[in-house]
Amino acid sequence: MAAAVIELNDHELRIAKDGKIVARSPACAIVQGTEIKIGDAAYREAYLHPRDHHNRFWYQLDQAALRRSSRAARHHADLAFKHLEHVHKAAGSPALMVFALPGGYSKEQLALLLGIAEACKIQVVALVDAAVAAAADCVAPGKFHHVEIQQHRTVITELLVDDTVTRTKVETIDGSGTDHLMTRFVSVISDQFLAQARFDPLHQANTEQLLYNELSKWLTLLRSRREIKVHIEFRGSRFEARISKSDIVAVAEQTYRDIHDRIPPHHRCLIGNRLAAMPGFAESRANQTVLPENAVFNGCTELAERSVDKKQGVSLLTRLKASSLPTIGTETAATTSLPAASRPTDNAPTHVLSGTNAYEITATPLYLFATGEALRTASEEAVAHLRRNGSATHLVAENGARLRLNGRPAGAETPLSPGDEITVEGAACIYLPITVVSSDA
């Protein structure tokens, strides 16, 4: 029987069986006397009970006393046990599990994690670095930086890929997690409600909670739209506000810059899907690729099928076999193998971003649709196509669609540069041309 795989992130735990996510739970707890709420139930009441709310128990996995301990929960390890027990049960209580976890945990914390798993009646098949697992199933040979956000920090993992994927360095940026960003996003949105509707949602705990409950949905919409209209209902009244993507991105730019400053500009990045969900991050750097949500689980397939040796201890794996059929990072080899006359110039886009997906632009037309899709097949519903012609990349309108380039009407055929913004009148999609460069550029 194959083991289940759990991805441990101090923002959220996810469990997958056979590569499919079957349970997920935010890392939140509310402790009130002998009662403990865990996961989503706690998240949806966190700002109603701020003094009883805890969300640092995976980040600070230890046995130091909580600021308000009780018989139900004395320290972070107790809350981590309750959370793991909760999500394990939600996944059907699999007996065997592979743990994929980010860099930054000490040996003492790993030992405590194994003890917590044993208390939950989980037999740990393997511990593996999550960044290594995410790259193992899909990344071509080369040097990469894997970047993923957690609740209280961002983890940057340097990877060397050849026959194996090897972790060579880990750097953590404390204070740059989702907790920090969400607070800033909520502040911006609250300001807009105050300015546009003369309503301050942060004045009341229950409307503040409503903001946080809806925030994830609003951020998802802003990944592909310039502006959205949101509302809050309170005491029989409906309050509305328009939120622009540019305002949201503006308050996140310093955090994004702090992350990018740790990585050489020409190095290739693999972006975890949690970080990619932050508006503007996927477009903030050219040479980065967003990994699919199931990348970590796919990379653990062989580990999940491994037989268990109870006599052998479990240690953290920082190296896995690399994929023989990679789907990410292969564009470098394809580009450098072109004759010099046909290579794109430094200013010619090689890919186009739509949402969290990046599509390669080649001499074969890539057709764009108002839904945000990009396909190689021509269609009467296509609004444009992109193609590389020698050292230039062109946008060509299709089927009478009205295109805009950087907010201005686009011509029938227009050359593109990295950083341009392609939009379609009457549609919410945004296409962003980027240039993917090699690691030694």
Look at residue 288 and tell me if it is in a domain.
Answer: yes
* Amino acid, single-letter form, for residue 163: D
3-state helix, strand, coil in the chain (%, to 5): 25, 35, 40
Look at residue 180 and tell me if it is in a domain.
Answer: no
Let me know the angle formed at the C-alpha of 58 by 205 and 151, rounded to the nearest 5 degrees.
Answer: 55
Q: What CATH number corresponds to the domain at position 292?
A: 3.30.420.40
* Same domain? 276 vs 377: no
* Same domain? 19 vs 102: yes
pLDDT tens-digit map of 119-177 = 999 999 999 999 999 999 999 999 999 999 999 999 999 999 999 999 999 999 999 99
* Same domain? 81 vs 170: yes
* Amino acid, single-letter form, for residue 160: L
- Cα torsion for 342, 343, 346, 350, to the nearest 10°? 110
Look at residue 107 and tell me if it is in a domain.
Answer: yes
Phi, psi dihedral angles at 185 (to 5 degrees): -65, -45
Q: Two tokens at 94?
A: 């699999």
Q: What is the rounded CA–CA span in Å between residue 37 and residue 249?
A: 33
Q: Count the domains in the chain.
A: 2
DSSP output for 202-222: GGSHHHHHHHHHHHHHHHHHH
Q: Are 183 and 251 in contact (CB under 8 A)?
A: no
Phi, psi dihedral angles at 316 (to 5 degrees): -75, 125
The residue out of 321, 348, 369 marking a domain boundary is 321
- The pairing of strands 96-101 and 123-129 is parallel
Look at residue 16 and tell me if it is in a domain.
Answer: yes
Percent of the chain topping pLDDT 70: 94
The conformation of residue 239, written as its DSSP 8-state character, comes to E
Q: What CATH number corresponds to the domain at position 428?
A: 2.60.200.20
* Same domain? 397 vs 293: no
* Same domain? 427 vs 283: no
The residue out of 295, 321, 347 marking a domain boundary is 321
pLDDT at 341 over 50: no
pLDDT tens-digit map of 305-316 = 987 766 677 899
pLDDT at 410 over 90: no
Look at residue 316 and tell me if it is in a domain.
Answer: yes
Amino acid 377: pLDDT: 82
Residue 100: count of CB within 10 angstroms of its CB: 27
Look at residue 441 and tell me if it is in a domain.
Answer: no
Whole domain around residue 382: which residue ranges? 330-434
Amino acid 41: pLDDT: 95
| C-alpha distances out from residue 225 to 152, 198, 398, Å | 27, 25, 21
Handedness of CA 175, 178, 179, 180 (dihedral sign): positive
* Same domain? 428 vs 312: no
DSSP output for 308-335: P-TTS---EE-EEEPPSS--BSTHHHHH
Look at residue 439 and tell me if it is in a domain.
Answer: no
* Same domain? 270 vs 334: no
The residue out of 269, 301, 321 marking a domain boundary is 321
pLDDT tens-digit map of 252-283 = 999 999 999 999 888 899 999 999 999 989 88
Q: Are 104 and 170 in contact (CB under 8 A)?
A: yes
Provide the CA 4 distance to its chain's centre, in angstroms.
21
* Nearest Cα to Cα of residue 226 among 386, 431, 434, 435: 431
Amino acid 331: pLDDT: 57
Look at residue 254 and tell me if it is in a domain.
Answer: no
* Same domain? 26 vs 130: yes
* Same domain? 21 vs 159: yes
Where helices occur in 65-204 by DSSP H, the ranges are: 76-90, 107-119, 130-136, 178-197
Residue 311: count of CB within 10 angstroms of its CB: 5
* Same domain? 43 vs 166: yes
Helix (H) or strand (E) holding 374: strand 374-375
* Nearest Cα to Cα of residue 363 among 383, 336, 390: 390
What is the pLDDT confidence band of residue 97, given thresholds at 50, 70 and 90?
very high
* Same domain? 315 vs 359: no
* Same domain? 24 vs 98: yes
Amino acid 163: pLDDT: 95
What is the pLDDT confidence band of residue 390, given thresholds at 50, 70 and 90?
low
